[in-house]
Amino acid sequence: MSNWKTPAVLSSEITPQEVYLRRREFMRISAWAALGATLPGSLFAGEKLSGVVRTPYQLSDPLTPLEDITHYNNYYEFGTDKESPGKTAGSLKTRPWTVAVEGEVHKPKVWDIETLLKLAPLEERVYRLRCVEAWSMVIPWVGFPLAELIKRAEPTGNAKFVEFTTLNDPQQMPGVGSPVLDWPYREGLRLDEAMHPLTLLAVGLYGEVLPNQNGAPIRLVVPWKYGFKSAKSIVRIRLLEQMPQTSWMKAGPSEYGFYSNVNPEVDHPRWSQAKERRIGDFFKRPTLLFNGYAPQVAQLYAGMDLQKFF
């Protein structure tokens, strides 16, 4: 039985935001909104996104509070601990912003973020996010299918993979330059994974503009894979014939494979993946194969050895 349900209204409308926002967060958002009013055409975290449509991609799981989503983050460009991105990502300037789509395509193009926001109807989708450190969240993302952008580029017959490159700017990102990774951050998907209806380009959450620490202004969300696959602050999307080497594959090939599907039977070399702790919960829960999205995506990996192709 499917665990999707279509609500009568958006979850962002039926869940009062003030329940989730602490006073200082509310004041910060209000300040940004006031500044945004003086800068026509700019969007800032905390501003409502208009024209968001309801979709069947909703979960019955309780939503993770916005305070936790925006203050417990993996974003190494702004620090390797979970709290630093929320403190330091204010230095990121998200306008102007462009995303180049290139490689094995008939119609390469550099897209302005404002044009991308109008590329397809913005949808609210409530997805689980499972991180490799065995913690998870339930987030109401706002975005549009990555397939909408790829189709407009018209992939050639040689295109088999998609590589994502994120912003690499030491002046804006205090973590860039640290030896933890080889910058810029790169991730990749197989083309059929990228074209899957669940794969989302997110521009917001909780009905509002995506906060900097969550990957503004545009990020990938692939809900059946570990969170590090969902590249943040994307500046280039390149279609390739050969599998790209991703940042974490290069940093630790024995620990991080290309596929990175959530799989309780494949442990990280330094910890088990059999259970996870939902942020806000005390007890752990069993990890679900493909993060609970097996009915939608298992066919992508039919016949593959998921121990080998981890």
Instruction: Please compute the mean of the pLDDT values over residues 183-203 and round it to a whole number.
Output: 98
Rounded mean pLDDT of the chain? 89
**Each residue of 194-229: pLDDT tens digit?**
999 999 999 999 999 999 999 999 999 999 999 999
- Cβ neighbours, 10 Å, residue 78: 25
Under CATH, which architecture does the 11-300 domain have?
Answer: Alpha-Beta Complex (3.90)
Of 218, 222, 238, 239, give the one whose Cα is nearest residue 230: 222
Average of per-residue pLDDT across 282-295: 98
Which pairing describes strands 135-145 and 200-205: parallel, antiparallel, or unpaired? Answer: antiparallel
- pLDDT tens across 246-271, in order? 999 999 999 999 999 999 999 999 99
pLDDT in tens, 33-90: 333 333 333 355 679 999 999 899 999 999 999 999 999 999 999 999 999 999 999 9
Note the pLDDT of residue 9.
Answer: 38
Domain segments of the chain: what residues?
A: 11-300
Task: Answer yes or no: is pLDDT of 12 > 90.
Answer: no
- Give the number of residues written for the chain: 310
In 131-230, which ranges are E strands? 135-145, 161-166, 186-190, 200-205, 208-209, 219-221
